Amino acid sequence: MRFRTTLATLLLTPLILAGQPAAAATPVTIAYAQRTQTWELVLTNGDVVEVPEALTKAPADAANAGAQAPFLVSGDGRHFFYYRKSDGLFVERTLNSTERVVSRRITAFAINEEWPLVSDDGSYIVVSTSAPGLGVFVDLRKGKTLPLPGKTDAWGFNGFSPDGKRLLLSGDRLTVFDRGLRARTRLKTGLYPTALANDYHTAAVPVGKWEKYRKLRLLNVRTGHASRTVTVRLPRGQYIDDLDFDQTGRLIVRSKTRTGVAIYRVSKASGKVTPLRTIARPDVKVWVLPGDSSYEKWTEK
Q: Say which CATH architecture domain 157-281 belongs to.
A: 6 Propeller (2.120)
Structure confidence at residue 26 (pLDDT): 82
Is the alpha carbon torsion for 282, 58, 241, 300 positive or negative?
positive
Structure confidence at residue 84 (pLDDT): 98
3 state SS of 150: helix
Q: What is the arithmetic mean of pLDDT over 141-153?
A: 95
Q: What is the arithmetic mean of pLDDT over 190-217?
A: 97
* Residue 10 pLDDT > 60: no
Q: What is the arithmetic mean of pLDDT over 273-295?
A: 95
When pLDDT is cut at 50, 70 and 90, the band that residue 16 belongs to is very low
Structure confidence at residue 195 (pLDDT): 98
Q: What are phi and psi of 224, to 5 degrees?
A: 85, 0
Structure confidence at residue 18 (pLDDT): 37
3 state SS of 56: coil
Structure confidence at residue 140 (pLDDT): 97
Q: What is the arithmetic mean of pLDDT over 159-173?
A: 97
* Residue 248 pLDDT > 80: yes
Q: What are phi and psi of 288, to 5 degrees?
A: -140, 125
When pLDDT is cut at 50, 70 and 90, the band that residue 183 belongs to is very high
* Residue 3 pLDDT > 70: no
pLDDT in tens, 218-244: 999 999 999 999 999 999 999 999 999
Smallest CA-to-CA distance from 235 within 274, 209, 195 is with 274
When pLDDT is cut at 50, 70 and 90, the band that residue 132 belongs to is confident
pLDDT in tens, 84-116: 999 999 999 999 999 999 999 999 999 999 999
Task: Look at 24-33, 78-87, 133-142, 258-267 and tell me which has the smallest mean pLDDT.
Answer: 24-33
When pLDDT is cut at 50, 70 and 90, the band that residue 214 belongs to is very high
Pairing state between β 100-107 and 114-118 = unpaired
The distance of Cα 104 from the centroid of its chain, to the nearest Å, equals 21
Structure confidence at residue 13 (pLDDT): 44
| Residue type at 51 in one-letter notation | V
Report the predicted TM-score, pTM, of the whole model to 2 decimal places: 0.91
Share of the chain above pLDDT 90, in %: 88
Structure confidence at residue 299 (pLDDT): 86
Pairing state between β 48-51 and 4-6 = parallel
CA distance 137 to 125: 6
Asked if the peptide bond before residue 132 counts as cis, ω within 30 degrees of 0, the response is yes
CB contact at 8 A, 82 and 74: no
